[in-house]
Structure 1
Amino acid sequence: MTAIIIEDMPQALAALQADLASFCPDVRIIGTAGGVVEAAKLLRDKQPDLLFLDIMLGDGTSFDILEIVPDIKSELIFITASDEFAVRAFRFAAVDYLLKPVDGELLKAAVGRAKARRGTQNTASLDLLKQTIRKPGELPDRISLHTSENIVVARISDIIRCEADSNNTRFIFDGGQKSVFVTKTLKHYEKLLDGHDFVRVHQSHLVNFRHVVEFKKIDSGYLRLTNGDEVPVASRKRGEVVELLR
């Protein structure tokens, strides 16, 4: 695979080049750039298989590059500093990212994922990432869900509940939308959706409390939701659920 690196810090650029040589020897670097203008000129002449993008550049951001050169077909891997909000934004958008300093094994894994999904870069996920990054004081109102077949960008308010299926998660939506099956754990989404009125009421169930209609006091309890589903409440969660409903 061919690659171009957009990075404005010489030390970080050299480190990434060395890591690619060590951990991804089948990746050939065909160009580098240190800013928006330089990158845009380079990408008009060359279209690599992989594009590594530092977010913050001296003359703008990597999103500016994507707007100037909108027909980029490369698989994108973003490089970011260890910023808690930025990391959360990447997780909401389900876009590949690496933290500085880059870990070699994680780099290898990211390149492997890029190979597997070659040609399926989703503009909706990138738009969601851009909006979330640019509004650090706001919780995102959408989430990007990658399935084995496609990428679904869904409104968080439309999610009624999430259900664990081994190490995978099934999303059930309002309005008769088809459920979505994602190969990430329920725990991952429990953390990600913190602050959006989602409550883990059972080992296998994460519920959007805005869709709760009724609490049935049978056994440890059941929640009836707006779509008619009934979800069991774990005995250790009963007190918390009752308090929230009050």
Structure 2
Amino acid sequence: MKKLTSIVVDDIPVALEMLCSDIEKYHPEIEIIGKAASVIQAAKLLQKKQPDILFLDIMLGDGTGFDILEIVPNLQSKIIFVTASDAFAIKAFKFAAIDYILKPYSNDDLTNAIEKAKKQIQPNKEQLDVLQEAINNPYSANQKISLHTSEKIIVVQLSEIIRCKSDNNYTTFYLENNQKILVSKTLKYFADMLKENGFLRVHQSHLINIKYIKEFIKSDGGYLMLKDKSNIPVSIRKRNEVIEALNNFN
């Protein structure tokens, strides 16, 4: 069997050697053909030889992993992003719908990432742009999200999402242009992700972009009328939260 080649990039020497050691010990099918501890080192290395898999730390001493991708725009390697346990970074990866390894990682995490890398299609430029924007501006509200469907990855503006509806382990996104996007993740996953972006879970099955609320009708148990003319029920335990959100809405 032909070995896969890899290059590992991390600016912390201990972390770099540990990842290399784990790859050599647990994944003999992968040959490490280079190591780098900075953007400059990595770029020089990748301009000479491109591995099958690039293990890429996001935050480096002299820049970010994105700087490397800009210097070597024709990179064909599958990328496994590696990041420290940082809340902003984790959120950024979720918005971009890109897989990553979180330090400290387990061998299972590493194995899963490698197996996905062998099969996966590279993240597209739009996904990488979403990730880069979120990493570079951690205190700014995310403007876009990547949605994985069974056929493709769609990057949409959060401002275009009217609402999301649960369908067991799937979520349907309803957009301003009447487009519907079915994603194989739960509503809770997106509710947790979008709660700081003007989205409110008003019912077990419904997540709403507050800016699209037209009226809150208090009769019949309480429901919302949205600007797209849809009516969305409000659960009893969410009623006060909805009223408070509308009172505070600018």
Normalised by the length of structure 2, the TM-score is: 0.90
- For the 8 Å contact 2:98–2:123, the answer to whether it is kept is no
- For the 8 Å contact 1:216–1:224, the answer to whether it is kept is yes
- For the 8 Å contact 2:52–2:78, the answer to whether it is kept is yes
SS of 1:215's partner is: strand
Within 5 Å, give how 1:137-216 maps onto structure 2. Answer: 137-176=139-178, 178-216=179-217
Alignment correspondent of 2:10:
7
Residue type of the alignment partner of 1:128? V
**Aligned partner (choices 72, 88, 95) of residue 69 of structure 1:** 72
Residue type of the alignment partner of 1:228? K
Answer with 216-225 or 227-236: which moved more: 216-225
SS of 1:154's partner is: strand
Cα distance in 2 for partners of 1:167, 1:27 equals 35
Within 5 Å, give how 1:94-113 maps onto structure 2. Answer: 94-113=97-116
**Aligned partner (choices 115, 120, 123) of residue 121 of structure 1:** 123
Which runs of structure 1 show a deviation greater than 4 angstroms over 4 or more consecutive aligned residues? none
Cα distance in 2 for partners of 1:115, 1:200 equals 37
Cα distance in 2 for partners of 1:165, 1:2 equals 41
SS of 1:172's partner is: strand
Percent identity, aligned pairs only?
50
Query: Which 5+ residue runs of structure 2 have no aligned equivalent?
Result: none
Residue type of the alignment partner of 1:62? G
Are residues 30 and 207 of structure 1, via their aligned partners in 2, closer, same or farther at CA, if it must alter by over 3 Å? same
Are residues 66 and 164 of structure 1, via their aligned partners in 2, closer, same or farther at CA, if it must alter by over 3 Å? same
CA shift, 1:244, in A, is 2.8
**Aligned partner (choices 136, 139, 155) of residue 138 of structure 2:** 136
**Aligned partner (choices 41, 45, 53) of residue 42 of structure 1:** 45
CA shift, 1:25, in A, is 4.0
SS of 1:162's partner is: strand
CA shift, 1:115, in A, is 2.4
Answer with 198-207 or 76-85: which moved more: 76-85
Cα distance in 2 for partners of 1:13, 1:62 equals 15
- For the 8 Å contact 1:160–1:173, the answer to whether it is kept is yes
- For the 8 Å contact 1:16–1:102, the answer to whether it is kept is no
Cα distance in 2 for partners of 1:108, 1:218 equals 54
Cα RMSD (Å):
1.8
**Aligned partner (choices 76, 79, 82) of residue 79 of structure 1:** 82
Cα distance in 2 for partners of 1:26, 1:233 equals 54
Cα distance in 2 for partners of 1:214, 1:208 equals 13
CA shift, 1:154, in A, is 0.8
- For the 8 Å contact 1:50–1:76, the answer to whether it is kept is yes
- For the 8 Å contact 1:190–1:206, the answer to whether it is kept is yes
Alignment correspondent of 1:237:
238
Normalised by the length of structure 1, the TM-score is: 0.91
Are residues 219 and 28 of structure 1, via their aligned partners in 2, closer, same or farther at CA, if it must alter by over 3 Å? farther
